Amino acid sequence: MITRGVIGIALLISLLVLAGCATNSLSLAERVEAYDSYVVDKKLEKLDRISTFRLDGWADLGEQHLIISTSFNRIYLIKLKNKCFDLHHATAIKVNQTGSVLQTKFDSIQVVGDFPMRCYIDGIYKITREQRRELIAIGRDKEPSEEDMKKAETAD
């Protein structure tokens, strides 16, 4: 005999599954593919380094991409060599850089927290504000506001 409690729990589980299927967000793996495709489609120029680099703000784009802005109001898309554990949930990052230059292959991003792991930079791409909005919109239901851009904690 099935009780009302069991029916209620089954109904609740069904609703949660349906709600999960109804979302139009991309998975983290799909985002990586979408950002890589964006770079190719828009023919973004890959830079080896950013001179006189000083981090001003950042926004995560999943586990392998992020957008950074510098003190000179320049915006860059950063692609990391591998997945960076917990980047998409991070509230702060640390940039490990060579002097006042940020370089691919040598420098890294690190999520501030319990499991510090260096995530080495594979690519740096200069982007416009419009491209930043387009990149942030990929895989998300709504575009974050300027206030959603996170300020980084740059610990020495």
Each residue's pLDDT tens digit, 42-69: 999 999 999 988 999 999 999 999 999 9
To which residue do tokens 């009780």 refer?
3
Q: Does residue 26 have a pLDDT over 70?
A: yes
Give 36-39's long-range contacts (Cβ < 8 A, gap of 24+). Answer: 36/79, 38/134, 38/135, 38/138, 39/77, 39/79, 39/123, 39/125
Q: Which residue has the higher pLDDT, 70 or 14?
A: 70
Please, what is the average pLDDT of the chain? 80
Q: Does residue 108 have a pLDDT over 80?
A: yes
Find the distance separating the first CA and the last CA of the chain, reported in whole Å: 65
- pLDDT tens, residue by residue, 67-93: 999 988 899 999 999 999 889 888 999
